[in-house]
Amino acid sequence: MQRFKLTIEYDGRPFVGWQRQKTGPSVQASLEDAFKTFAPDEAIRVTGSGRTDAGVHALGQVAHVDLERAMSTDELQGALNFHLKPNSVSVLKVEAAHPDFNARFDAIKRHYTYRIANRRAPLTFDRGLRWHVKTPLDADAMHEAAQVLVGQHDFTTFRHVQCQAKSPIKTMEYLNVERDGDEVRLHAGARSFLHHQIRSIMGTLKLVGEGKWTKADVKAALEARDRQALGLNAPPDGLYFVRVEFPD
């Protein structure tokens, strides 16, 4: 039995999310089905480092899987990418992993980016890949307000009502907002996140960028520890799971 570490990218638009579900296609199911085409007798289970929601994308999702069939890392990557067609999932890298490696529990930091297309003109190529916001946004004000949320806090306000995490307390290591042309980006890093946490933060910061909320309003929403105090929950379109860090 060999354990492998997979680095994966995907366009989340066709999927109900990372996790296998009965309600529609998932990234996890697409990978497991690809494995079964060349290892039909094995009980394949692909474990990801994070469960992205429907419509959320990934540039560097990491997963692990155990395989009895003897294959090199190059052979496995080629087989997976061949059998993943035509799904919008690509295995960027396959590495041999220690038998105890766990993509979920060994992760020490996860990084996300949220992309806003801040322009009047509608999206064409990036439809579903960026959140289209027509109103001009003040990225500097958004960045300043975001710093209220950095550090350890009770993020109940920014947590989906169906979030399954045991505690709403999380430590946000950084939140940076920047503008590049017509794109406003939020970069976020933490050991782990709550369900919809980044989308809730981005939606609230959008109100700041429009001048409807202030930094003080964001602080008050955080301290309310009440989902009803949330300003806005952003759509999944612009959210990307960028990369995962593990101990050396």
Q: Can you tell me which residue has the tokens 């992205």?
A: 52
Active site residue 74: no
Residue type, 77: Q
Determine which one of 11, 33, 41, 53 is catalytic.
53
**Residue from 18, 12, 15 nearest 52 by CA:** 18
The three-class DSSP label of residue 92 is strand
Q: Is-cis flag, bond preceding 168, omega within 30? A: no
**Residue from 184, 173, 185, 165 nearest 149 by CA:** 173
CA angle 178, 183, 188 (to 5 degrees): 45
Enzyme catalytic residues = 53
